[in-house]
Each structure stands twice: as C-alpha cells, then as structure tokens.
Amino acid sequence: MTRSQELFERAQRVIPGGVNSPVRAFRAVGGEPLFIARGQGAHLWDTDGKEYIDYLGSWGPLILGHAHPEVLDAVVRAAAAGTSFGAPTEQEVELAELLCRLVPSLAKVRLVSSGTEATMSALRVARGFTEREKIIKIDGGYHGHADCLLVATGSGAATLGLPGSAGVTRGTAQDTLTVAWNDLSAVAAILEREPIAAVIVEPVCGNIGCVPPRPGYLAGLRDLCTRYRTVLVFDEVMTGFRVALGGAQALYGVQPDMTCLGKIVGGGLPAAAYGGRAEIMACVAPDGPVYQAGTLSGNPLAVAAGLTTLRLLERPGTYEKLEATSHRLIEGIGALAREAGVALQANRVGSMFTGFFSGSEVLDYASAKRSDAARFGRWFRAMLERNIYLAPSQFEAAFVSLAHTDADIARTLEAAHHAFQALT
Ligand code: HOZ
C-alpha cells in the first residue's frame, strides 16, 4: 500500500469522501487521489516521493508556480507582523488600488476570502441595486457553492453528474434561470419577458472545461444588460489575471458592471474580491443597505501573497511568455492526438485549456457532455503514470504557469504521445 492510499483510507474515516472539496476525489477518472507533500515551481511531489509536472496549479491560483521565493518572502514578512487584525491595513488599500488600476471595469472593490463569497456577495449587491430578484446563469457555469448558484452547475457537480445540490430550497432555485452558453437569443428572450437583477457568466467558461465565448457573444450580453438595466457580472475567478493582466474583460474589450475575482488575486492564499461601478458598490454596507462582512477579509498574509503575485505579473513580457508556452503545449497535444487518430478538441484561451475527447466542436455544456469522459479518464491515468498531473475531470480546465520550462513541455508531450498510443 502506498502512503497516499494509507492516508486516503484514514481521511475517508474522518472527512466526507476523504477530501475537502469534491473535485479532488478522482471519482470520474478512477483510482484514488494523490496526497501532495510539496511543490516547487511547476513540479509536485506526492507523499510517496513521486514527482509530477503540475498543470492543475491548485485549480488556477499558481500562475507563478509553487513556492515562488518572492511570494514566500512577502508572506513570511507579513506573518511576522501579525496574521490577522480585523481592522484596516495599508496593504489592503494598496491591493484594492492595484485591482482598480488593472481590471478595466473596477471603480471600487471589496476584499473577501473565496470565490464563492465573491459571487454570492456580488449577486446580493446586484439584487439590492436593481431591487429585482431573479438572476440568469449559464447551464454548466460554476460560480462556487452559494445556494442560488448551485443550479445546472458545472465543475464537481458536472464531474459527478449532479444537476444541482440537495439542500437548495425550491424557492431559491426558482429565482435562478439558466441558458446555454453562447446563446444570446435565450438571454434576450428572458430579459424581454421579465425583470432580471443580474446575468452572471464566466467570460471564458472554465467549469465545463475551457469553452471560449463566440465572437460577439460578450458584447451582445453587454448590450442586452444595458438595454434592460440588468447588472452584468463577470465571474473572473478563473480568468482574472489568467487570460490577460486585466482579465477576460481586457482580452475581449467588454466591460461588465461587476467583476468577481479569486484564485490568482490571492497568490495561493485565500483572498478574493468583488467590485464594479461606483454607483453599484455604493449599495454595500456601511455605505449602503446591502450587508456583507468577513472576519478574515483582507487577511494580511493573503493580501501580501496577492500583491506580490500581481506585481510580478505586471512585468513586461509575462503574458507573451505564458502564451508561447501554452501554444506550444496545446498545439503539440492536438498534433499528437491527430497522429494517433484520437478525436480531440483542444480548447484554449491563453494559459487555460481543456482537451475534450470529442469529434465535434465544443461550444457549450451540451456539446461538452458529448465528449467521451471514460476515454478522458484512461488518458488522464496514462498521463499520471507518466508523471503528468492534470485536472482529474473532463469538465475542468488545466493551467500552464510561468514556471513551466521548455523541458517540462517536452517531457509532457513525450508523455502525451505514449498516452495517446496507449488509448488506441
Ligand atoms: N473552480 C474550481 C474547480 N473548477 C474549484 C476547485 C474546487 O471546487 O475545489
């Protein structure tokens, strides 16, 4: 028995499913989760000492790789000055100023501790601002696990084949309307029919796997929301600072009314944020009537990690380097699949990507679900055997970091070649 297997046995006795988040459970790909001992750069080591090239990056935050020395140094210095005050600090002002400078649509921003908190709070603010109740989300869109967003949800729920979640009341669920990704007319039909507080989208879907917006889709959402005075919320928890320094809104040139940030904004520690137009953010307590709070909001360690990460990302050439590495990897994987006669849709935006085991284009959740998830599982395990650590689900995105070297990419392509051959 390996050390990971031993730990998993112990974990299952005291933690539901043996994991602290369902996506970690490897249920859709078979086998058991690895227990991770440490990470450095683009590499991970499990508790049995086996090394992997990591394309999960803790589900997105680690764009600089693991244990980046400047981030570590900032966290250690922050910790030495005190780990939490529950009072304002200079550094959280610096982070808020930086966010408002980097993300085009942010006039004001509130720091929270997780992406779930960010989306849940943004929707409450949108409802308070518009004095409307219903929201629209995308079929397969995942925005964390607030009740109103666990409807037709992606990520772990898609992986496990759950359409939503027990424990969400009918009353809550009926205020969440869903439409297919990339279908503008479906959004228009609802907005025409009834008052809607907010439309929330991941501007690049990441939780049904990586599925980009069709040309004109985000701009179309912008126009519709403006026309019907509905708050357009971009959940940029995954795409923020990932697909461009200013997020997907900078990449596609479309400004939402509100933006949710997470993952990279905390540099690997628990920080997230939501913000938007000043008149909307004026609704947030203590300025306005929408209540939202948090003991650890703006936590000094998380703020230090986030600030340092964003400042490093601001250096010239960062996103060009990420693009070149990602291009080489995903084009390479696509070519190897073709060579092996394996039908694969290699979807990518910047450094986020998913290889869908499908013969037809993946444009939304319905087409993502037509992928051969069992075949993905076999490929995933073949890659893992060859020391490549990917997201353990067909319906998740994987991430390239600035720490991935040419040698890492070459090793990954070599592994992918053998893994595709093993499938056929
Ligand atoms: N957004 C991540 C998965 N798509 C969250 C990770 C988790 O649920 O633990």
- Based on the fold, state whether residues 284 and 218 are members of the same structural domain: yes
CA of 155 to the centre of ligand 1 (A): 6
Write out the residue range of the structural domain in which residue 76 sits. Answer: 69-313
Q: How confident is the model at residue 349 (pLDDT cuts 50, 70, 90)?
A: very high
334 pLDDT higher than 70:
yes
CA dihedral 17, 20, 22, 26 (to 10 degrees): -70
Question: In which order are the strands placed within the sheet that holds 345-349?
Answer: 345-349, 352-356, 398-399
Q: What would the two tokens of residue 217 be? A: 């889709």
Bigger pLDDT: 195 or 30? 195
**Average pLDDT, integer, range 107-115:** 98
- Based on the fold, state whether residues 389 and 357 are members of the same structural domain: yes
CA of 231 to the centre of ligand 1 (A): 25
**Average pLDDT, integer, range 295-323:** 98
Residue 396 CB less than 6 A away from ligand 1: yes
Please name which of 151, 44, 4, 156 lies closest in space to residue 389, comparing C-alpha atoms. Answer: 44
- Based on the fold, state whether residues 88 and 61 are members of the same structural domain: no
CA of 189 to the centre of ligand 1 (A): 31
pLDDT recorded at residue 155: 75
- Based on the fold, state whether residues 142 and 255 are members of the same structural domain: yes
Point out the domain boundary residue: 313, 338, 353. Answer: 313
25 pLDDT higher than 80:
yes
CA of 226 to the centre of ligand 1 (A): 31
Using the atom order of ligand 1, give the atom closest to the CA of residue 207.
Answer: 4
164 pLDDT higher than 80:
no
Is residue 369 among the annotated active site residues? no
**Average pLDDT, integer, range 56-72:** 98
Bigger pLDDT: 220 or 172? 220
pTM of the model: 0.97
Point out the domain boundary residue: 267, 291, 313. Answer: 313
pLDDT recorded at residue 75: 98
- Based on the fold, state whether residues 276 and 389 are members of the same structural domain: no
Using the atom order of ligand 1, give the atom closest to the CA of residue 145.
Answer: 8
Residue 207 CB less than 6 A away from ligand 1: yes
**Average pLDDT, integer, range 109-138:** 98
Count of domains forming the chain = 2
Is residue 50 among the annotated active site residues? no
**Average pLDDT, integer, range 232-249:** 98
Q: What is the CATH number of the domain that holds 234?
A: 3.40.640.10
pLDDT in tens, 376-396: 999 999 999 999 999 999 999
Phi/psi-derived region of residue 266, left when phi > 0, alpha when psi is between -120 and 50, beta in every other case: alpha
| 274, 258 contact by CB (below 8 A) | yes
pLDDT in tens, 275-286: 999 999 999 999
- Based on the fold, state whether residues 187 and 277 are members of the same structural domain: yes
Q: How confident is the model at residue 153 (pLDDT cuts 50, 70, 90)?
A: confident
Distance CA(163)–CA(176), nearest Å, equals 13
- Based on the fold, state whether residues 209 and 282 are members of the same structural domain: yes
Please name which of 255, 215, 217, 213 lies closest in space to residue 234, comparing C-alpha atoms. Answer: 255
Point out the domain boundary residue: 313, 334, 361. Answer: 313
Which residues, 6+ apart, have CB-to-CB distance to 85 below 8 Å? Answer: 300
pLDDT recorded at residue 162: 66
Distance CA(424)–CA(404), nearest Å, equals 29
Is residue 252 among the annotated active site residues? no
pLDDT recorded at residue 266: 98
161 pLDDT higher than 90:
no
**Average pLDDT, integer, range 201-216:** 97
Taking CA atoms only, the protein residue closest to ligand 1 atom 9 is 21
- Based on the fold, state whether residues 303 and 366 are members of the same structural domain: no
Which residues, 6+ apart, have CB-to-CB distance to 368 below 8 Å? Answer: 140, 208, 209, 211, 356, 358, 362, 394, 395
Bridge partners of 53, per DSSP, are 43, 388
Using the atom order of ligand 1, give the atom closest to the CA of residue 238.
Answer: 1
> CB atoms < 10 A from the CB of 283, how many?
18
Q: How confident is the model at residue 163 (pLDDT cuts 50, 70, 90)?
A: low
- Based on the fold, state whether residues 78 and 206 are members of the same structural domain: yes
pLDDT in tens, 77-87: 999 999 999 99
**Average pLDDT, integer, range 295-315:** 98
Nearest 5°: phi and psi at 2? Answer: -75, 165
Round the average pLDDT of the chain to a whole number and report it: 96
Q: What is the CATH number of the domain that holds 53?
A: 3.90.1150.10
- Based on the fold, state whether residues 36 and 136 are members of the same structural domain: no
- Based on the fold, state whether residues 76 and 56 are members of the same structural domain: no
- Based on the fold, state whether residues 114 and 171 are members of the same structural domain: yes
Q: How confident is the model at residue 304 (pLDDT cuts 50, 70, 90)?
A: very high
pLDDT recorded at residue 423: 92
Q: How confident is the model at residue 89 (pLDDT cuts 50, 70, 90)?
A: very high
